[in-house]
Amino acid sequence: MEKLNVIAVIVAAVSMFLIGGLWYSKALFGNVWMRENNLTEEQLAKSNKGKTFGLSFLFSLIMSFNLAMFVSDPSIDFTMTIFYALCVGLGWIALAFGIVALFELRSWKYIFINGGYMVISFLVMGIILGAWK
């Protein structure tokens, strides 16, 4: 635990939060994501944004801390940190998300949008945590 760079963990969590903001914006996948979830602008406007964004950041912070715990050993270098981050993002999270989505009869677009967000987020978190050891 004393080997963890707390600032790096926080910055990595912020990166995930910011990537999500861009990923689900209308500039990237927001419109398709809304369509795949049968959501309207009105429904999203009625949501509790404080709760959604607050919990999203808390969850990002927990995930960043968790990843940092896995890669904090000094024997794990920058390249391995990135590799492990990709393994977590793709091999665990995106594929687990995909399994749930398949049983929920969700589309491949839905799976790739949400799974892709996790892969990219964990890649960037791995880069931050690996570079800032």
Is residue 110, in this structure, part of any structural domain at all?
Answer: yes
Q: Which residues of 55-66 are buried (b: 16+ CB within 10 A; e: fewer)?
A: eeeeebbebbbe
| Per-residue confidence (pLDDT) for residue 133, from 0 to 100 | 83
Domain tally, the chain: 1
Is residue 120, in this structure, part of any structural domain at all?
Answer: yes
The Cβ-side half-sphere exposure at 55, using a 13 Å CA radius, reads 4
Is residue 75, in this structure, part of any structural domain at all?
Answer: yes
Is residue 38, in this structure, part of any structural domain at all?
Answer: yes
pLDDT at 1 over 80: no
5-22 pLDDT tens trace: 999 999 999 999 999 999
Q: What percent of the chain has pLDDT over 70?
A: 98
pLDDT at 111 over 70: yes
pLDDT at 2 over 60: no
| Per-residue confidence (pLDDT) for residue 131, from 0 to 100 | 96
Q: If you average pLDDT over every residue of the chain, what do you get? A: 95
Structural domain for 37, as ranges: 6-131
52-96 pLDDT tens trace: 999 999 999 999 999 999 999 989 999 999 999 999 999 999 999
Is residue 30, in this structure, part of any structural domain at all?
Answer: yes
Is residue 85, in this structure, part of any structural domain at all?
Answer: yes
Q: Which helix (H) or strand (E) holds 95?
A: helix 95-103
Cα distances (Å, whole numbers) of residue 32 to 7, 8, 29, 44, 81: 34, 32, 5, 14, 32
| Per-residue confidence (pLDDT) for residue 3, from 0 to 100 | 79
pTM for this prediction: 0.93
